[in-house]
Amino acid sequence: MSPEEGLTGRKIIYDEDGKPCRSCNTLLDFKFATGTISKAGSVIPAMAATDNSAEELIPGSKTYKKIDPPDVQQLGASSWSLLHSIAAKYPKTPSETQQKEMSQFLNIFSHIYPCNWCAADFEKYIRENAPKVSSREELGRWMCDAHNKVNVKLGKPKFNCDFWEKRWKDGWDE
């Protein structure tokens, strides 16, 4: 399948199944490639229309705003997005090497996570519930279960793990 030009002028990147890759394209490009929106009927936010007053920018920069380091909520949300996205792109039938690397990655991730308390909690979870890495389905459900354990601890609702693929890989039928 030949790449199409997306709304942002970039080429659409396809996944191993020949579908536009959600993780590799902008949301606008993905919607265009999947027929959710058309190039003619879309509105692309103007990138240059942002207000970059001198007080908001890092000294000497024309583009980078002064923002604070992420707090625990921002860090957590971003980390879970990364972990779930990795699980969603994990091979359906991974090789022994891929399985070993995924287990190593999750163990290393739990050791280097910036929030020490969260890191120790994830390390403990991994010790008690070894990552299931023999397939994409197993890893996706394991990741969902791990996330739900944290959600319960934080008083948040649990996510129905039957929908992990729709949420993190395929998207919702609309």
How many domains would you assign to the chain? Answer: 2
The pLDDT of residue 2 is: 45
What would the pLDDT profile of 149-163 be if each residue is shown by its tens digit? 999 998 999 999 999
pLDDT of residue 7: 55
Pick from 7-11, 26-30, 33-37, 54-58: least confident? 7-11
Q: Give the CATH number for residue 151.
A: 1.20.120.310
Quick one: 84 and 152 in the same domain?
yes
- Is 122 found in the same domain as 77? yes
- Could you tell me which residue, 97 or 15, shows the higher pLDDT? 97
* CB-CB contact of 4 with 33 (8 Å): yes
Is 51 contained in some domain?
A: no
Q: What residues are paired with 20 via a beta bridge?
A: 14
Which band of pLDDT confidence, cut at 50, 70 and 90, is reported for residue 100? very high
47 pLDDT higher than 80 = no
Q: What is the pLDDT of residues 108-150, one digit of tens each?
A: 999 999 988 899 999 999 999 999 999 999 999 999 999 999 9
Summarised one tens digit per residue, pLDDT across range 31-41 is 777 777 655 54
pLDDT over threshold 50, residue 43:
no
